[in-house]
Structure 1
Amino acid sequence: MPVVEAFDHVDALEPLFMAEFEFLPRIGEYLSIDTPPGYFRYYKVVEIWHRQDKEGGAFRACIRLEEDD
């Protein structure tokens, strides 16, 4: 399964989180993250790109999210 880096704004240098997905989320889809105690945070996928790692040259999938209440 591919590892996807999720960022919360355009100029973020560090990902909000990294996760394994069975498939790459598409623009317009929503993700929910479980937060204790029993609540969820909802995010909308607004941008997708791939970046190349300096070490090894592998490409990594990245998504930008906007929090949606």
Structure 2
Amino acid sequence: MAQVEIYDGEGDELLFTGQFDFLPRAGESIARNTDDYFHYYEVIDVWHREDSEAGRFQACLAVKIVD
């Protein structure tokens, strides 16, 4: 499973991180259950950020709330 950082597409604020079996693509949706309520997000961008100290890349998504 890949650890993915999910950012607000408007403000580049980190919303949450999650474990994904595969990386969602732009145009796909993510549903997240928080406090027994589903929040829906549309993926608008996908990129990989390099962590130069660790020598690895971090998968990142930008999303917009569809709720």
TM-score (norm 2): 0.88
Closer/same/farther in 2, CA of residues 21 and 34 from structure 1, 3 Å limit: same
Residues 22-61 of structure 1 show CA distances to partners (whole Å, capped at 9, x for unaligned) of 000011111111122x311100000000000132220011
Q: Which residue of 1 aligns with 2:5?
A: 5
Q: Which residue of 2 aligns with 1:66?
A: 64
TM-score (norm 1): 0.86
Q: Structure 1 CA distance, aligned partners of 2:54 and 2:30?
A: 30
Task: Report which of the two has the higher share of strand.
Answer: 2
**Percent of residue pairs bearing the same amino acid type:** 45
Q: Structure 2 CA distance, aligned partners of 1:15 and 1:6?
A: 6
Q: Structure 2 CA distance, aligned partners of 1:26 and 1:15?
A: 18
Aligned Cα root-mean-square deviation (Å): 1.4
